[in-house]
Amino acid sequence: MLMLSATTHEGVVVEDFMDRLHAEQDRDQRLVAAMNAASKLAAAQAEISRHTWREPVRHLQARRALQEAEAARAKAFLPSEELGSLARRIIQLRLMDLRRPGGRYGSHRHPLHPEVDSYFDQLAADVAVEVADVAARPGALPSSQTGPRPLAHRRANELPELLELLSAPAVHAVLTRQRDQVREVAADTELFTRQRPDGLLIVQHAASGLRARFELDEAQPGVGRFGSIYAKHYKIASIDPSGAEGRPHLFEGLGIGAMIYRRAAAEYPDVRWRGGTLTEAAHALRRRLHNEDPYIWAAWCQLCDRHFQDGKDWSQRAREDFPTH
C-alpha cells in the first residue's frame, strides 16, 4: 500500500515509491516469464510421452523440444525470497478478507490479535482454503499498482514453486510466524516521548513506530483542563532518535495505542482527553479507557447515557459525578 506521508520529504517518498514500483513490475514480468516457461515445459513433457522409440524422428524432435523447454525453465529463475514474499502477500490478503469487519471472523482489531488464539488453527485452515481457491482463479495475484498488469490473467497455480508455498501447512507456518512477530513487537514497552514548551507531546512506540500527538486545549470550557489527541500516525513525523519511521500500519489494533495513550495521560495526570473524529478501532480503545476512568477519557458510553438525564456534556461533569463503570 502506498503511504504518502506529509511529514516525510515528498521527494524521498516519491523516489521510494518509484523504486518499489519498478521492483514490482520487474517481478511481475519475471513471474510471467516463469509461468510461460513452466507451461512450455509441461507441454514438452506431455509431447515426449506421446512418442515412443518406435517413432525415432518424432521422438528425437520431442526430446530436443524438451531440452529447450528445460533450458528456458532454468533461465526463468525466480529468487525464492521473491516468491516467498509474493506468497505471504497472497496469504495476508486472504487473512485480511476473513478478518475485516463483516467477514467470517470479522473484527476491528489486528488480523492476528490475541483474540484469534482460541480458533487460530481453524482460521489458518480457512485461510488455506481461500488461498487454494484464489490460486486457481485468474486475477488473484497481487501485481504492481500501476502500469501494465501482466499478472491480471494469470493464476498462481501455473507456477508449481509458488503453489507449494501456498499449501495448507505452508499457510499455517506463515501465519504462525507472523503472529509471533507482531506479538513480540506489541509486547515491547519502550516508548519515545518529545514534549514542546507549549505542552504539545508526541509519544511513539519504539518497536512499531506507532505514534500519537497530544495537545493541551486551554480554551476548552468545562470542569478541569482539557486536551485533544491526534492519532493519524502517518501524518506525524517520527521521533525515533535513529530516524527510523517504523512500519506503524502493520501493528494497528494490537493494543499499542492504549500503551501510548496511557503514557500521555501519565505525563498530564489532570488533563481530560476529549473525543473527536475517531475510527471504529479508536472508538473501542476510547471505550476501554473510559471504563477505567470516565472522568479523564471521553467516549460514547451507554452507562453514562442512562445514568445522566440532565443533557449536560461530558466536559461539564466533575469527577465525583460519574457512576462506577
Query: Which CB atom, from 127 or from 301, has the smaller least distance to Zn ion?
Result: 301
Burial 271-289 (b: 16+ CB within 10 A, else e): bbbbbeeeeebbebbbbeb
Q: What are phi and psi of 225, to 5 degrees?
A: -100, 150
Nearest residue to the partner Zn ion, using Cβ: 301
114: its cell numbers: 490475541
DSSP H helical ranges for the chain: 10-50, 56-75, 80-99, 120-135, 160-165, 168-187, 256-267, 280-292, 302-307
Q: Let me know: does 297 contact 273? Beta carbons within 8 Å.
A: yes
CB of 301 to Zn ion, least distance (A): 3
Query: Which CB atom, from 17 or from 308, has the smaller least distance to Zn ion?
Result: 308
CB of 273 to Zn ion, least distance (A): 14
Q: Let me know: does 253 contact 281? Beta carbons within 8 Å.
A: yes
Cβ neighbourhood burial of 323 (10 Å; 0-12, 13-18, 19+): exposed
CB of 214 to Zn ion, least distance (A): 21
CB of 299 to Zn ion, least distance (A): 7
Site residues for Zn ion per CB under 5 A: 294, 301, 303-304
Query: Which CB atom, from 251 or from 297, has the smaller least distance to Zn ion?
Result: 297
CB of 114 to Zn ion, least distance (A): 25
Query: Which CB atom, from 114 or from 275, has the smaller least distance to Zn ion?
Result: 275
Q: How many Å apart are CA 68 and CA 72, to the nearest integer?
A: 6
Query: Which CB atom, from 119 or from 300, has the smaller least distance to Zn ion?
Result: 300
Dihedral, CA of residue 241, residue 247, residue 252 and residue 254, to nearest 10: -70
CB of 309 to Zn ion, least distance (A): 14
Query: Which CB atom, from 6 or from 318, has the smaller least distance to Zn ion?
Result: 318
